[in-house]
Amino acid sequence: MKIIIIEDERLTAADLSATLTTIDPTIEIVKIIKSVAEGLAYFTQKIEVDLIFSDIRLGDGLSFDILSKLRIPVVFCTAYDEYALTAFKANGIDYILKPFTEKEVRKSLEKFKQLTGNQEETIKQKYAVLTEIFKFSPPKPASLLIRHRDMIIPIKFDQFALFYLENNVVNAVTFDGEKYHPSKSLNELEQIAGNTFFRVNRQYLIHRNVVKHASNILSRKLSISVNVPHDADILISREKSPQFLKWLSGEEL
């Protein structure tokens, strides 16, 4: 079986790849795709692949932008459940919530084998999975545990103004101006922080209440001013600006 993985977290992709080949040593991981741009470019060529395991939120957008153009079965492996309906319109046959287990991956592979060539059963299974997804939605943590010197400090997410990546180190700044170094990656923080935070680019994850104002600059990008001490520019691309403004107004994304 030939499988492609779409995942921008290197360790998660490696873990999933190892899990798949442990379950079935005959599985060939054809490609690990890390971004929407890479995926769109890769699938312009003719690809022979049986199944895709895909995260949904990537650094430069949603994987649906890639998958909606394909006719390849997909198992979604993500921390988000709010995209379930869209996922099943994008060739989804199963939906695993992170952190995944070997048992869940094995069940998805078995489901793919059972559903191959049986369209009616595929539809029934999609609705069964969809029901399970909305029956159980794991709660997002209210606080983040921060290791500071010899202490472990729980800090509520709504106390954080922004998270940013600098020299491969994640920094967290509270509304009081305190600065910490979380052990989680920016992608992991994005997945658990909730809708009051927005991933403006690969470097920044910001709270809605930290935005002082946004200014138009060259190439129709936006520059964000924040109400906590921070010297670096926070920029949003032209493509992502409409989504940011919608979020800033409080609309559901």
pLDDT grade for 252, boundaries at 50, 70 and 90: low
pLDDT band at 118 (very low <50, low <70, confident <90, very high): low
pLDDT at 30: 95
Classify 73 as helix, strand or coil: coil
127 confidence band (pLDDT: 50, 70, 90):
very low
At 205, is the pLDDT very low, low, confident or very high (cuts 50, 70, 90)?
Answer: very high
Distances in Å between the Cα of 125 and the Cα atoms of 94, 122, 133, 182, 235 are 8, 5, 12, 39, 43
| Tens digits of residue pLDDT in 22-60 | 999 999 999 999 999 999 999 988 888 999 999 988 888
Percent of the chain with pLDDT over 90: 47
CA 243 from chain center: how many Å? Answer: 16
Residue 7 or residue 95, greater confidence: 7
Identify the residue with better confidence: 95 or 214. 214
More confident of the two residues 3 and 135: 3
Q: Is the pLDDT of residue 85 over 60?
A: no
Structural domains of the chain, with CATH = 2-135 (3.40.50.2300), 143-248 (2.40.50.1020)
pLDDT at residue 226 tops 90: yes
CA–chain centroid gap for 151, Å, is 30
Question: What does pLDDT average to over the chain?
Answer: 84
* Statement: the pTM of the whole predicted model exceeds 0.85: no
Q: How many Cβ atoms from other residues are within 10 Å of residue 84's Cβ?
A: 20
Confidence of residue 7 (pLDDT cuts 50, 70, 90): very high
**DSSP labels, 88-119:** HHTTEEEEEESSP-HHHHHHHHHHHHHHTT-H
pLDDT at 79 over 80: no
Instruction: Indicate whether 192 pLDDT > 80.
Output: yes
Q: What angle do CA 55, 57, 60 make, to 5 degrees?
A: 120
Of 171, 152, 169, give the one whose Cα is nearest residue 160: 171
State the alpha helices, DSSP H only, in 206-240. none
The listed range with the strongest mean pLDDT (3-12, 68-77, 136-145) is 3-12
Q: Over range 62-67, report the average pLDDT.
A: 85
pLDDT for res 128: 56
Report the range of poorest mean pLDDT among 23-37, 136-150, 165-179, 233-247: 136-150
For residue 21, report the phi and psi dihedrals to the nearest 5 degrees.
-75, -25
